[in-house]
Structure 1
Amino acid sequence: MRTPLLWGGPAALTVLLAGSLAAQNMGPPPPLMQVFREEVKPGRVGSHVQTEAGWPRAFGKAKIANNYIAMTTMYGPTEAWFFEPHGSVAEIDAANKAIEAAPGLNQDLDRLSQADAANINSSRSLLLRFVPEASNNPNINAAEMRVWEVTIFRVRPGKEGSFFAGAKLYQSLVQQAKVDAPWATYQVMAGMPGPTFIVFGPHKTLPELDPSSGVGAAIEKAMNEEMMKQFGAISEGFISVENLVMTPSPEMSYPTAEWLAQDPKYWGKKAAVAVKPAANSPAPAAAPKP
Structure 2
Amino acid sequence: MSPPKVLVIQREFVKPGKAGNAHEKTESAFVRAMMAAKWPTHYLGMNSLSGPSRSLFFIGYDSFAAWEKDNMDTQKNATLAAALDRASFEDGELLDRYESSAFVYREEYSLRAPVNIGEMRYMEISQFKIREGHRKDWDALVKMYRDAYEKAVPEAHWAMFESMYGMDNGGVYLLITPMKSASEIDHELASDDAFYASRSAADSKRMAELAAACIESSQSNLFQFDPKMSYPRDMWVKDNPDFWKPKMIATKKQAKPAPQQ
**Residue in 2 aligned with 1:229?**
205
Question: Given the two structures, how large is their TM-score scaled by the length of structure 1?
Answer: 0.79
After superposition, the C-alpha distances for 1:179-222 in whole angstroms (9 at most, x for unaligned) are 22111222222113221111111221112112686533432443
User: In the alignment, which of 223, 247, 254 is matched to residue 246 of structure 1?
Assistant: 223
1:69 aligns with 2:44: yes
Identity of aligned residues (%): 28
Distance in 2 of aligned mates of 1:244 and 1:215: 19
SS at match of 1:158: coil
Distance in 2 of aligned mates of 1:257 and 1:133: 30
**Please, which runs of 5 or more residues in structure 1 have no aligned partner?**
1-26, 277-290
Any residues of structure 2 matched to 1:21-40 within 5 Å, and which? 27-40=1-14
After superposition, the C-alpha distances for 1:52-102 in whole angstroms (9 at most, x for unaligned) are 111111112123222001121112221111111111222212211121111
In the TM superposition, structure 1's runs of 4+ consecutive aligned residues that sit over 3 Å from their partners are 211-217, 223-228, 273-276
| 1:32 counterpart letter in structure 2 | V
Tell me how far 1:105 sits from its aligned partner.
2.3
Distance in 2 of aligned mates of 1:270 and 1:90: 35
Number of corresponding residues: 250
User: In the alignment, which of 177, 183, 195 is matched to residue 219 of structure 1?
Assistant: 195
Any conservation in 2 of the 1:148–1:245 contact (CA below 8 Å)?
yes
SS at match of 2:49: strand
Distance 1:216 1:250, change over 3 A: farther
Any residues of structure 2 matched to 1:187-198 within 5 Å, and which? 187-193=162-168, 194-198=170-174
Distance 1:221 1:212, change over 3 A: farther
1:128 aligns with 2:103: yes
Tell me how far 1:275 sits from its aligned partner.
6.2
**Residue in 1 aligned with 2:117?**
142
In terms of mean alpha carbon deviation, does 266-275 or 141-150 score higher? 266-275
Distance in 1 of aligned mates of 2:2 and 2:188: 30
SS at match of 2:73: helix
Q: Which structure's residues are more often helix, by fraction?
A: 2
**Please, which runs of 5 or more residues in structure 2 have no aligned partner?**
254-261
**Residue in 2 aligned with 1:256?**
233
Tell me how far 1:224 sits from its aligned partner.
4.7
